[in-house]
Structure 1
């Protein structure tokens, strides 16, 4: 019964949205997606109630109804705009310019057991936070039906551009008018749930996947977008030196300040690179937890 309710609510959501799309001939507005999901749940719940009271269908079948309706809405938006938004990917020319600044740099050896710590914590983090991913996806999609994830093209070790995964915390196509810019404090383009995601760094949970594939570490210099790094490399001498190690989810600059100037970021990242060790990573993770809980960023 669970499977039938799941499939029925999923197909009902998809059919409702597509019917409205054919009728309007224009892009379906966000409220139509939400209404299709709610209508699907509203029609499937009476079936579940009748089956529950007459045939002893377990209560978990109601969750299958909601999950199917939401997945149906996700399918309809994904078919239009995709599951992840990749905004302003850098051109091959920009990537080559960034790589050129990293020629001849000295790359220090990674401390022993650092990679073991990264993989262990990433696997543990994914296992513990798996239910939270579903809640976050629901919050993002219902506030603005569209992509759940955001792909941030960032500079990693050696100046190589990699695809950094995040939960989408800003409105879809937020940089259409501004172009690639660093998000300022109290950015009006941020979703309401996005403010909560950023406050508790929940938007960074998908970066655990980057840690597993080796493009990031749990602790290290915070990765920045390639299109912005190109400008910093031209303006700040030695800025490429922060890319001699894997970028990290947590870093000194992030722990101490939410918004920080590139030159100051470079200085703090070089401190970490000089002192890099597994013990320091553990201490910095402890500080990151404390500052996140307290909401403190100035230090």
Structure 2
């Protein structure tokens, strides 16, 4: 019940507050621009159309994830979404005012109300974030990791990016875990972070121990655990069982998805046609080679297809190296290519792939056969993402970045397939607008670090009260003073 109120209850409160903000924004706009009082006809028109304005606001905010309170996100991303939502709402009001003759909305009132609502909405969301990050939900956290590089890398990200919500008080490096957990380690702990390198039995034991003490558990899900996200509980005699279906779309979902792909891609081609025509002329003028680049990718059911892109690299960029992922400040990328990659203009020709049925607007990004073979060897669950059409954009592209590891991208792709809906596709398309404008997620891969442990140790020393311990295998030392403290030279 508490969890239900925390999520759905807060969404309802935010929805109600957004409706009130619309009313007060237009009321203040009318007062500021009409010192003698609001014109009766305009104010009456506003009140009559208030339900439609509230619907526009709620729907647009939903598509920009402004009611998604389940995650822990940075305020910059949240507020950028809010800014884009306000722009869309303003455009919707302009169209609505031309369409409905009964709705009289002067440009001055619209602009003033837009600015006021932006300030009030920003203030409301910032207040919620401040309450979460500074007073209510900063949790003292115990991190349990293995010495594996992957665990230490995720811990480093947790310590850097999770500061508004978690303070790492202790870090335990464990080789194995027994059921006994000395209570001394749990004093003051409000959450535990479980590294992905721990075995399934070890994770289950830590979850049990945390549950006994009413402590939140934060962990990177294993791939099989993602399948449980929408598992259907069933009963066979007196047995409670879970029914898990393969991660793929149903026939009605595929039909609706195909119809929306055709309609939206035709509309986008019409809008983007001037930019595409310019690219066909400018790219050959700025670097040697053709404007259009055709590359074989792997699509639905592992069938290859020709993928179309505007060329962003020098001609024959991989002639000497073979298939290589683009890196940060990659010398093969042309000056114009840097711009069209950051703004995703290079992907526009793939709208023809969508019309031809090779791709969908939303889905896992298609890879080359070389990388598909490699990822299938490293990630046994990778083949599941080939059960749906690849996409022009995807859940991994809006939630992660170009440099995100293949395993983390795969988690997002599998989550998308398991939780597919038409509304989710629309939300991802709206989020793609944010990604294009911010450009941050288009950066290439960074050079890999041979040993992330020293960086984690340095961070732990900066964190103040953190303590990196390395209990012996099959034992847990309840006394931090007697645990082995590692230094960079020891790792």
- 1:240-255, aligned counterparts within 5 Å? 240-255=383-398
Q: Is 2:417 the partner of 1:273?
A: yes
Q: Is 2:322 the partner of 1:176?
A: no
Distance in 1 between residues matched to 2:416 and 2:279, nearest whole Å: 32
Under a length normalisation based on structure 2, what TM-score does the superposition of the two structures give? 0.38
Distance in 2 between residues matched to 1:285 and 1:203, nearest whole Å: 17
Match of 1:156 in 2: 299
Equivalent in 363, 368, 373 of residue 225 of structure 1: 368
> Is residue 164–residue 207 contact of structure 1 (8 Å, CA) maintained in 2?
yes
Distance in 2 between residues matched to 1:106 and 1:265, nearest whole Å: 16
Equivalent in 116, 137, 143 of residue 286 of structure 2: 143
Match of 1:127 in 2: 270
Match of 2:347 in 1: 204
Distance in 1 between residues matched to 2:268 and 2:388, nearest whole Å: 22
Q: Structure 1: 5+ residue runs without aligned partners?
A: 1-104
- Partner-residue secondary structure (3-state), 1:238: helix
Displacement of 1:149 in angstroms is 1.0
Distance in 2 between residues matched to 1:244 and 1:193, nearest whole Å: 35
User: What is the number of equivalent residue pairs in this alignment?
Assistant: 194
> Is residue 181–residue 228 contact of structure 1 (8 Å, CA) maintained in 2?
no
Deviations 1:14-70 (A, max 9, x none): xxxxxxxxxxxxxxxxxxxxxxxxxxxxxxxxxxxxxxxxxxxxxxxxxxxxxxxxx
Q: Is 2:433 the partner of 1:292?
A: no
Match of 1:193 in 2: 336
CA RMSD of aligned residues (A): 1.6
Distance in 2 between residues matched to 1:107 and 1:281, nearest whole Å: 15
Q: Is 2:264 the partner of 1:108?
A: no
Deviations 1:188-214 (A, max 9, x none): 100110001001000000000000011
Larger Rg: 2
Distance in 2 between residues matched to 1:252 and 1:225, nearest whole Å: 19
- Partner-residue secondary structure (3-state), 2:332: coil
Deviations 1:180-233 (A, max 9, x none): 111112211001100010010000000000000111000000111111111111
Distance in 1 between residues matched to 2:247 and 2:351, nearest whole Å: 27
Displacement of 1:144 in angstroms is 1.4
Displacement of 1:106 in angstroms is 6.7
Displacement of 1:107 in angstroms is 4.2
Deviations 1:223-251 (A, max 9, x none): 11111111111121111111110000111
Match of 2:175 in 1: none
Distance in 2 between residues matched to 1:183 and 1:119, nearest whole Å: 30
> Is residue 157–residue 243 contact of structure 1 (8 Å, CA) maintained in 2?
yes
- 1:229-240, aligned counterparts within 5 Å? 229-240=372-383
Deviations 1:119-174 (A, max 9, x none): 01111111111111121122211111321111121111111111111011000001
Which structure has more relative contact order (CA 8 Å, sep 6+)? It is 1
Task: Identify if the C-alpha distance between structure 1 residues 107 and 218 changes in structure 2 by more than 3 Å, giving closer, same or farther.
Answer: same
Q: Structure 2: 5+ residue runs without aligned partners?
A: 1-245, 443-491
Distance in 2 between residues matched to 1:122 and 1:203, nearest whole Å: 15
